[in-house]
Structure 1
Amino acid sequence: MKANKIMGLRLLMSIMLIAGLTSCSKKSSSKNTSRATGWDMDGRKGSNTKEQKAGPGLVFVEGGTFTMGKVQDDVMHDWNNTPTQQHVQSFYMDETEVTNSMYLDYLDWLKNVYPPTEEIYKNIYEGASPDTLVWRNRLGYNETMTNNYLRHPSYAEYPVVGVNWIQAVEFSNWRTQRVNEALLEKSGYLKKDAKTLDVTADSNFDTETYLNSPTSTYGGNEDIVLKGGKGSKKAPKAGKDGTVPTEKNVYARRSSGILLPEYRLPTEAEWEYAAAADAGEREYNIYKGQKKYPWSGGYTRSGKRQSQGDQLANFKQGNGDYGGIAGWSDDGADITNEVKKYPANDFGLYDMAGNVAEWVQDVYRPIIDNEANDFNYFRGNQYTKNKIGEDGKIEIVTKDNMKFDTLSNGKVVVRRLPGQIAQVPIDEKDTYLRQNFDKSDNTNYRDGDKQSTRYYNFGSSESEDEKEKQERTMYNSPKHNVTADSLGKMVRKYDSSSKRTTFINDEARVYKGGSWRDRAYWLDPAQRRYFPQDMATDYIGFRCAMSKVGPKANKKKSARN
């Protein structure tokens, strides 16, 4: 009887052991096989889902629905912020405005990689440098800021100003490359410290270049662009016939989950949603009240016991009153102020009202067309694709074919740096029989294109010359022009026509939020203004955003009660 029990116990243990081994085998197998085909996935993990981590300086903003353009006052009678219901996807946004210290990192990198002492590169550094003369005033003594604001350490953590929209976009692009370069180095795909010791104009890193043609990164230097990364498998051995199998997946890819999406300017909808931070007023599926400012309540001073009477933002309180009477109750600043000096809003974002106004991506139009789209609204899409050279490969920008733009004010800026992939507008091959877009430049869609004007004659085949087209455009703005003569000298042609009717054009960009120069009226997140994209001021700065990939929320939702 006892022997039977022992045999039975051994049999049970054997069954459990086999079941356990089978289970382990299945788990192990499932990590390396496709759920679609059951095939081996070339070393990729079967479950390769990774949560996106916030890039340096960013905080998470969970997307949702809000009423865009909802203001309590419209004393300017602009009628350019009619309320519309919009939905914004989750994204990340800079905790603070980009500071002088952050922007100087950019300038120092440019100076090191593209020495302005060399004639071919001089416009790169000069074109990226902020305009420090924006501080000057005909009847004001502001030379202290002109000479010191950008570089003096006392202003290091103050928001950068004197930066036009184009410069802000280029800074965002540079930031993308430096962040992803550091991530790849940390993961073992790039040589350690190459980003500082080995980088040159002809040998540097660009994210899209690495993804499309890794061997073109750093000028194709295999000592810098490494294969496999950390924890990589050993190189394949030669087979019986002496041939060595080709290595697969030796470079990081988008599917590796290492690289982050690009840093960029936020869209107007994203910026307004993040500034309003209505999530702090939520009660189940409604908002309990309308915020006039990024904080709760309708006043600019704190009502909390510990900080009662303190100003909640840096703005102009009245004529000749930029900071208040000296003492405890002033706002602590006469011009801009150091970031994080005022309370953050409910998303953890600082200075979404006051300090400096901020550039956003959008081209300005008086109307937000929610009938055409109410999801991630944005005006200004210009779709491009990688340029393919005569050899059938993507064309990499070199120092011989860099792209420069001469702005209407004569400033020369670079648009494509060496190491990046040359871009061209999409063509009919990409748009044929599509319903969602039909051309590369969609800036004027439903507001500014020919069909939108009152002169549009549907079905008319009459041709117009260029002069007639200009006279019949929807936004008849001044057209200043800068050209170079045969000696390379800039010739500036100012448009002095008396027939211009507006300053709105395709180069007018939206900026949001009040600044140190503005009254409290402009602190409302829904207020909107515009400024030429190639001009800068002493009161407009910017912050960067990054799209969120994957799930809408970072944390699992649970019932409130």
Structure 2
Amino acid sequence: GIPDLDPNKEFRNVIKEDGILLPKYRLPTEAEWEFAAYGLIGNTIDELIPDKKLYPWNGHAVRNSNEKYIGQILANFKRGRGDNMGVAGKLNDNADVTAPVYAYWPNDYGLYNMAGNVSEWVMDVYRPLSLEDNDDFRPFRGNVYKTKKLDEDGLIDEKYDEVVKDSVTGQIIGLPGRIKYRDVNEKDDNLLDRRNYRQADNIDYLDGHWESSIYFSEVEAGAIDSDFDANNGQKQMYQFGATSLVNDRARVYKGASWRDRAYWMVPGTRRYLTEEQSTSYIGFRCAMTRVGSPIGLGY
């Protein structure tokens, strides 16, 4: 415990509000990022939104309408070909590349750079039609369900004793002291009794798996051999490296960067890049999963 301010108690238990016990940091989902970017609390009256919003600020212009700062650019973006920051003497956004975090105004949630400066990774795997395939409540594409590795006695298996990397991507999948996990499977995890998922990897759900290929109808008709064609790269929905750059490692990134036009500052726009790659214009911000009252203790 920690010292208690109550004179009748010497110590008390640690609570989350102390800032000592925190949930794990993670990337926000695409839906969470858009919700945070729009920040609709500042222009909402009850359930009405009287001011239309295209960007993270009110209105459809990229300049400040406040009398004190009227005409000043609201974000760091590329206004036109060859115009990263304006003309000498009166720079429109004062930054040719990335600018300090607090250089521009925050949105109504107090979040900076939700439009402009740097684009940001989100957790979702990219699919062009995800918005049509996903559920309307907290949508996310990228679930791969895992469970702890257990030994013959049902106890947690030995932990990693060294850094382990994926043989294909080179990503770190295990650190010394971390618990080992495995993908769930029908035999050991009774997946047939579940209602929300029946397999470990659900990245391709409705968009990318063999059943969503144009050739699957021929399998059902008995015209082609499903055992062969299901593993034939030329008949997959996304032929990575041949006709498409989309695969299961393509992640969504959101928002405009210092090198993008104003179009990309609209929170609903989306692009993708292979998750192992990095650029000078994509960054990230962290989110947490908080369980409990959004107000605080006692509510």
Q: Same fold (TM over 0.5)?
A: yes
Residue aligning to 1:405: 166
1:452 pairs with 2:216: no
Distance (Å, rounded) in 1 between the aligned partners of 2:27 and 2:127: 18
Q: Which has the higher helix share?
A: 1
Q: Which amino acid aligns with 1:334?
A: D
Match of 1:116 in 2: none
Match for residue 194 of structure 2 among 425, 430, 434: 434
Task: Report the identity percentage.
Answer: 43
Show the counterpart of 1:65.
none
Structure 2 partner of 1:543: 285
For residues 374-415 of structure 1, give each alpha carbon's deviation from its aligned partner in whole angstroms, at most 9, with x where no partner exists.
111000001111111345421343334x3212555xxx4422
Report whether the alignment pairs 1:511 with 2:273. no
Letter aligned with residue 50 of structure 2: K
Contact 1:310 1:329 in 2 (8 A): no
What is the TM-score normalised by the length of structure 2? 0.86
The 1-side partners of 2:15 and 2:73 are apart by 48
Higher relative contact order (CA 8 A, sep 6+): 2
Q: Deviations over 1:347-380 (max 9, x none)?
A: 1100000110000000001113456511110000
Per the alignment, do residues 283 and 371 of structure 1 end up closer, same or farther by CA in structure 2, a change over 3 Å counting?
A: farther
Query: Aligned-pair distance for 1:553?
Result: 4.7
Quick check: 1:521 aligned with 2:263? yes
* Aligned amino acid, residue 536 of structure 1: S
Alignment match, 2:233:
470
Distance 2:79 2:45 in 1: 33
Look up the SS of the partner of 1:535 in the other structure: coil
**d(CA) in 2 for partners of 1:187, 1:405:** 41
Deviation at 1:530, TM superposition (A): 0.5
Supply the RMSD in Å over aligned alpha carbons: 2.9
- Offset at 1:546? 0.8
Alignment check: 8 A CA contact 2:160 2:179 kept: no
Give the Cα–Cα distance (whole angstroms) in 2 for the partners of residues 314 and 379 of structure 1: 30
1:269-348 mapped onto 2 (5 Å cutoff): 269-348=31-110
* Paired residues of 1:316 and 1:518 also in contact (CA < 8 A): yes
Query: Is the CA contact (8 Å cut-off) linking 1:309 and 1:329 kept in structure 2?
Result: no
2:5 matched to 1:231? no
Cα separation, 1, equivalents of 2:171 and 2:60: 43
Q: For residue 272 of structure 2, what is the aligned residue in structure 1?
A: 530
2:7 aligned partner? none
Q: Following TM superposition, where does structure 1 have runs of at least 4 consecutive aligned residues deviating by more than 4 angstroms?
A: 251-254, 369-372, 552-557
Distance 2:226 2:261 in 1: 49
Deviations 1:181-230 (A, max 9, x none): xxxxx859xxxxxxxxxxxxxxxxxxxxxxxxxxxxxxxxxxxxxxxxx8
SS at match of 1:272: helix
Aligned-partner SS, 1:358:
strand
Letter of the aligned partner of 1:231 in structure 2? Answer: F
Cα distance, 1:306–1:252 mapped onto 2, change above 3 Å: closer
Mapped partners of 2:14, 2:296: distance in 1? 25
- Cα distance in 1 for residues equivalent to 2:213 and 2:22: 41
Distance of aligned partners of 1:554 and 1:392 in 2 relative to their CA distance in 1, 3 Å threshold = closer
Mapped partners of 1:443, 1:452: distance in 2: 13
The secondary structure found in structure 2 opposite 1:340 is helix
SS at match of 2:41: helix
Alignment of 1:4-43 (within 5 A): none
CA distance in 2, matches of 1:342, 1:253: 35
Q: Could you tell me which residue of structure 2 aligns to residue 355 of structure 1?
A: 117
SS at 1:361 equivalent: strand
Cα distance in structure 1, aligned partners of 2:129 and 2:192: 29
After TM superposition, give the deviation of residue 555 of structure 1 in Å.
9.9
2-side partners of 1:332 and 1:372: how far apart?
40
* CA-CA distance at 1:434 after TM superposition: 1.3
Structure number with larger C-alpha Rg? 1
Distance in 2 between the 1:327 and 1:399 partners? 59
Q: 1:253 to 1:301 in 2, by over 3 A?
A: closer
Q: 2:288 is paired with a residue of what secondary structure?
A: strand
SS in 2 for 1:531: strand
Measured at CA, do residues 395 and 259 of structure 1 come closer, stay the same or move farther in structure 2, by a change above 3 Å? farther
Q: Gaps spanning 5+ residues in structure 2: where?
A: 4-9
What CA distance in whole angstroms lies between the structure 1 residues aligned with 2:101 and 2:15? 36
- Aligned pair count? 286
Change (3 A) 1:333 1:444: same
Offset at 1:539? Answer: 0.4
Distance 1:339 1:555, change over 3 A: farther
Q: Which amino acid in structure 1 is aligned with residue 240 of structure 2?
A: S
- Helix, strand or coil for the counterpart of 2:93? coil
Q: Is the 8 A contact 1:311 1:329 kept in 2?
A: no
Structure 1 residues without counterparts, runs of 5 or longer: 1-185, 189-229, 233-250, 479-499
Within 1, Cα distance between the matches of 2:287 and 2:2? 24
Question: TM-score by structure 1 length?
Answer: 0.47
Q: CA offsets, 1:240-285, max 9 Å, x none?
A: xxxxxxxxxxx9999xx97322210000000011101122221221
Q: Is the 8 A contact 1:396 1:420 kept in 2?
A: no
